[in-house]
């Protein structure tokens, strides 16, 4: 295969180079760091060894955690080295045999997840939820929403890689008119289309991370589907927040796109309508948003195209908020943006919003949908503007619902 | 020192044998599995090696995780072996030099925490909170409280061992009358006296753990102080639950008491006032409560003695609930009982309740207290009935508040 001849316009060209972990077909129990180029995966550790690179050790591990923990200077250095390996013609004979076709490998969870936090940063999403569940409130946002990026901890042990089946969760639910809760499989199983941010460089307890230090700590991003059982969540979540309605599974893409690949996608977040406390005030910072065009499909049919550029709170603000109380970061921490919903109906990142809490079924070629049915396959994909008009693809995240 | 001559009635006698991880004075960077006996710590790995035990590998690690993951049969076997090592006279000459005085060693976080979940299982605590914050509600409990053990995920990366200073967190707070939130150090920093349960045996995604399998999965318990910044929490927690009000630090005792040491402490939980769904119905199970007598002190003065036997939801019910949606367990998962509060005023496990939200200051010998001041040292200790009238001590959890 030709590593240097990725088709013009391929969203996984040499300007992208996302990292993952794969098992080759001939060694299915091994886990190796891979770098995607087009429809192929470079065995990065083998390449480093073959070329006598000083990064052979860092890239020769079974997860990305060592690379994540190596710090932002090393991230840049490794990326520069990789770019050379796949572009300098004299490396061709060495490098070419170290590529595997994407379809031949098994993609693995690329890093060991430390803590997982989920935010709630889309104003459109939060307002839609408020209108549905608190229709009589004067404001569809809670009073704190414009002052801080609301978030909560999720279950890191059930973060799974794209392609993993999702077992429909069972649990308690209770309609307002039911005299007592009933138990059974969730009947309101939903998608949440999100972007996940992967922390590389840790921080110390008691030492907040400032807005401007975001790029020192965050290695890259992925797509994330925060599967949600709306009926379980509705009954359990007062007063301490979501628990079993979310904890059964969270899917992430197999590829982590380094922040450096997304420099051309940076955009200013929406105008801030409320003054921000200094630790969150990004008016003097570089643009904190990303112009990511997300696509949500169910069984191959696109149901929504949420624009990430509409997110009110940025990843840098979320990081600053998450640590302002002195909470430390660890290598492998993952945080989700919250459901991405744009202002248009076809830009909503959950079925809850797309069907207005089940009222308006979606008409798909294979039938109507309010919430997910067994066998449904949900896929999130995305791209961002790259250098010179190129697109930077994010790895897709897909999952099939199976009966419990 | 005399390993076999622990004073009669010592709560850390041979009937207890909790596990921890320590660094000896002469090798402060090493981490070794230790077993407490009286005021001494046995270097368990060294003992196993010296006696040619098959557990030398399991006990020769820098954390308890390998032992936790070895499963309940091995837990029993190792405990039986340890009991022999410290009681059979012929081992004395080998074992005695492997003890370190407790005061000479540094105690470490005994296991790598995977996911951390905090519950809310004391009816007295939940009713006190309801009365304070929802005084007009018909019921001081939320409608779901008697149907499921309410819980949420916390931050596992900031779980620290007893003795670690706790930096006063800063954050946003907003009194109802304030026009906008203000930022600064928490002025309502609180204690939550809890018991923590440590998961050993993992489970698979999609496979709930039944009530009766509790002892196959839970290795032991510890004391836990879920430090809480009430002002930060009050402003942030609607609608997704506690986040920065809790995530700055959670302290656990250095000693994990195996469930087998607490057989004599098992008691039936309070009578269930509402019918339970089958997966939580423990009426046909062995007693799920523990008769643990907790003591909470501030700067050496006992302010409360919460009785764990009053907890409405048991650890087995919490485990069954946490996994009923198919969420998997990992070795090192930790879950807290929730604040332990008894029915009496002097049995409340938080300053929030003891001072009724700051209204009634506690009169301590060193001054009045509503919430914690810088320099305050909080210590939780506990004991349980053991065999033949002995007491089983839980390792204390202590922490000092320092300014941020």
Judge whether B291 and B221 are in contact, CB under 8 Å: no
The alpha carbon of residue A112 is apart from the nearest alpha carbon of chain B, in Å, by 11
Query: Is any Cβ of chain B less than 8 angstroms from the Cβ of A279?
Result: yes
CA distance linking residue A47 with residue A95, whole number of Å:
6
Cis-peptide, bond into residue A205, ω within 30° of zero? no
CB contact set of B356 (below 8 Å; sequence gap of 6+): B132
Please name the residues between 309 and 338 in chain A that touch chain B, using a CB distance below 8 Å: 321-322, 324-330, 333
Classify residue A157 as exposed, middle or buried by CB count within 10 Å of its CB (0-12, 13-18, 19+). buried
Query: Is any Cβ of chain B less than 8 angstroms from the Cβ of A134?
Result: no
CA distance linking residue B64 with residue B56, whole number of Å:
13
Confidence of residue B8 (pLDDT cuts 50, 70, 90): confident
Residues of B in contact with A169 (CB under 8 A): 325-326
Task: Write out the two tokens for B83.
Answer: 């009991």
The alpha carbon of residue A256 is apart from the nearest alpha carbon of chain B, in Å, by 22
**Residue A125 bears catalytic tag:** yes
Q: Residue A184: closest CA among chain B residues belongs to which residue?
A: B325
pLDDT at residue A180 in the model: 95
pLDDT at residue A8 in the model: 86
Judge whether A158 and A166 are in contact, CB under 8 Å: no
Query: Is any Cβ of chain A less than 8 angstroms from the Cβ of B187?
Result: no
Residues of A in contact with B245 (CB under 8 A): 325
Helix (H) or strand (E) holding B381: strand B377-385
Contact A241 B240 (CB under 8 A): yes
Q: Residue A329: closest CA among chain B residues belongs to which residue?
A: B157
Closest partner residue to A148 (CB to CB) among B172, B277, B321 is B172
Q: Residue B242: closest CA among chain A residues belongs to which residue?
A: A240
Closest partner residue to B277 (CB to CB) among A115, A156, A172 is A172
pLDDT tens by residue, B129-184: 999 999 999 999 999 999 999 999 999 999 999 999 999 999 999 998 999 999 99
Pairs across A and B, CB distance < 8 A: 188
Higher-confidence residue: B3 or A168? A168
Contact A244 B322 (CB under 8 A): yes
CA distance linking residue A222 with residue A374, whole number of Å:
26
Residue B247 has pLDDT above 70, yes or no: yes
Contact B242 A244 (CB under 8 A): no
From the candidates A40, A100, A125, A217, give the one annotated as an active-site residue.
A125
Closest partner residue to A157 (CB to CB) among B155, B172, B330 is B330
pLDDT tens by residue, B329-345: 999 999 999 999 999 99
The order of strands in the sheet holding B106-108 is: B99-101, B40-43, B32-37, B19-23, B106-108
pLDDT at residue A3 in the model: 60
Residue B315 has pLDDT above 70, yes or no: yes
Residues of A in contact with B117 (CB under 8 A): 243
Catalytic site positions of B: 125
pLDDT at residue B2 in the model: 46
What is the CA B348 to chain-centroid distance, rounded?
A: 16
pLDDT at residue A2 in the model: 46
pLDDT (mean) for B371-394: 97
| Domains, chain B, with CATH or none | 19-108 (2.30.30.230), 116-402 (3.90.850.10)
How does pLDDT run along chain A (404 residues), one tens digit per residue?
Answer: 446 678 889 999 999 999 999 999 999 999 999 999 999 999 999 999 999 999 999 999 999 999 999 999 999 999 999 999 999 999 999 999 999 999 999 999 999 999 999 999 999 999 999 999 999 999 999 999 999 999 999 999 999 999 999 999 999 999 989 999 999 999 999 999 999 999 999 999 999 999 999 999 999 999 999 999 999 999 999 999 999 999 999 999 999 999 999 999 999 999 999 999 999 999 999 999 999 999 999 999 999 999 999 999 999 999 999 999 999 999 999 999 999 999 999 999 999 999 999 999 999 999 999 999 999 999 999 999 999 999 999 999 999 999 99
Long-range CB contacts (< 8 A, 24+ apart) of A276-281? A276/A147, A277/A147, A277/B172, A277/B181, A277/B183, A278/B183, A279/A208, A279/A210, A279/A211, A279/A320, A279/A321, A279/A324, A279/B183, A280/A148, A280/A149, A280/A211, A280/A317, A280/A320, A280/A321, A281/A211
pLDDT at residue A1 in the model: 40
Closest partner residue to A157 (CB to CB) among B115, B142, B243 is B115
Confidence of residue B228 (pLDDT cuts 50, 70, 90): very high
């Amino acid at each position: 295969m030709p590593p240097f001849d990725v088709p013009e316009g391929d969203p996984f060209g040499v300007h992208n180079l996302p990292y993952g972990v794969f098992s080759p077909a001939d060694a299915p129990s091994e886990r190796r760091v891979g770098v995607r180029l087009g429809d192929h995966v470079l065995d990065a550790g083998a390449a480093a060894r073959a070329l006598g690179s000083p990064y052979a050790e860092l890239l020769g591990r079974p997860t990305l955690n060592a690379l994540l923990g190596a710090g932002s200077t090393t991230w840049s250095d490794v990326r520069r080295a990789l770019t050379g390996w796949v572009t300098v013609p004299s490396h061709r004979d060495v490098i070419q045999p170290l590529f595997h076709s994407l379809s031949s490998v098994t993609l693995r969870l690329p890093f060991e997840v430390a803590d997982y936090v989920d935010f709630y940063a889309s104003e459109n999403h939060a307002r839609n939820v408020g209108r549905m569940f608190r229709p009589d409130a004067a404001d569809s946002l809670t009073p704190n929403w414009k002052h801080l990026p609301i978030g909560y901890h999720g279950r890191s042990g059930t973060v799974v890689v794209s392609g993993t089946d999702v077992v429909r969760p069972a649990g308690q639910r209770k309609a307002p008119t039911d005299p007592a809760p009933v138990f059974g499989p969730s009947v309101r199983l939903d998608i949440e289309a999100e972007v996940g941010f992967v922390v590389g460089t840790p921080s110390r307890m008691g030492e907040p991370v400032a807005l401007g230090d975001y790029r020192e700590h965050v290695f890259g991003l992925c797509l994330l589907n925060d599967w949600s059982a709306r009926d379980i969540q509705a009954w359990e979540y007062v007063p301490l927040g979501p628990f079993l309605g979310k904890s059964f599974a969270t899917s992430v893409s197999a590829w982590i796109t380094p922040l450096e690949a997304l420099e051309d996608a940076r955009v200013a977040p929406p105008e801030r309508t409320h003054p921000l406390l200094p630790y969150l005030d990004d008016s003097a910072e570089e643009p904190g948003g990303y112009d990511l065009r997300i696509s949500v499909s169910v069984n191959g049919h696109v149901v929504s195209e949420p624009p990430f550029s509409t997110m009110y709170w940025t990843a840098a603000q979320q990081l600053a908020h998450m640590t302002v109380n002195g909470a430390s970061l660890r290598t492998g921490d993952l945080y989700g943006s919250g459901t991405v919903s744009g202002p248009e109906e076809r830009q909503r990142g959950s079925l809850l919003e797309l069907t207005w809490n089940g009222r308006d079924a979606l008409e798909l070629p294979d039938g109507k949908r309010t919430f997910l049915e067994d066998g449904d396959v949900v896929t999130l994909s995305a791209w961002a503007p790259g250098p010179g008009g190129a697109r930077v693809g994010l790895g897709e995240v897909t999952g099939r619902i199976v009966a419990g």
